[in-house]
Amino acid sequence: MNDDFEDLDFEPLDRAPLLATIALTALAFWGGSQLWLTFGQVQRWPVLWTWSAGAIGIGLGIGLTTLSWAAACLWPSYRRSTYAYLNWIMPSLRPADALWIGLLPGASEELFFRGVMFPALGADWLALLGSSICFGWLHLAGMKHWPYALWAGITGAILCGAAWLSGNLLIPTLAHITTNALAVLLWHYRRSTRPPV
């Protein structure tokens, strides 16, 4: 098995441009959501702030992170695809960037895919499938990385299902933020505990 930290397809991204790109992408998703709400006459999925919804969202994020780890242990193609993706993004980041990486994509992507796209497509099973396929496609970094995009699509379906069942966009948003932030922290933890060469 390859060293997890040597599985690279792309040169690692520099920190400042990466953080700026994440901010601009979040702004684009927010702007796209606002345009869709304005011109598409869509009712945005509500965000209801309760302690129980917060706990469920964070718990779901921890659960998704655990499922991703299990999938990486059991499915070598997914493991290689995930590590290549993470090793492209993570090396220049600091552990403190977990908040930025969690909050901006987590909130903006949930607003767009689950908060606006899902109800705009009809808030039914086909809408869940359509928004999840689009979310998976967003995470496709190249055709050989289809396992990572497939997992993103499955994650998108779970997050969409959480919004649909609860009627609350807060739950998938907190789950997404938690999952992204944990990815940064766990990557840095694994890198720091790697035995010296």
Q: Which amino acid is at 97?
A: D
In whole angstroms, what is the distance from residue 1 CA to residue 124 CA? 42
Give the pLDDT confidence of 105-152 residue by residue, as tens digits: 999 999 999 999 999 999 999 999 999 999 999 999 888 889 999 999
In whole angstroms, what is the distance from residue 172 CA to residue 185 CA? 20
In whole angstroms, what is the distance from residue 103 CA to residue 124 CA? 27
Which pLDDT belongs to residue 13?
A: 82
- Cα 66 vs. chain centroid, distance in angstroms? 14
Domain boundaries, the chain: 57-190
pTM for the predicted model, two decimal places: 0.91
Q: At a CB cut-off of 8 Å and minimum separation 6, what does 133 contact?
A: 153
Residue 5 pLDDT level (bands cut at 50, 70, 90)? very low
Give the pLDDT confidence of 52-106 residue by residue, as tens digits: 999 999 999 999 999 999 999 999 999 999 988 888 889 899 999 999 999 999 9
pLDDT at 3 over 50: no
Which pLDDT belongs to residue 191?
A: 82
Given a contact cutoff of 8 angstroms between Cβ atoms, the answer to whether 110 and 61 are in contact is no
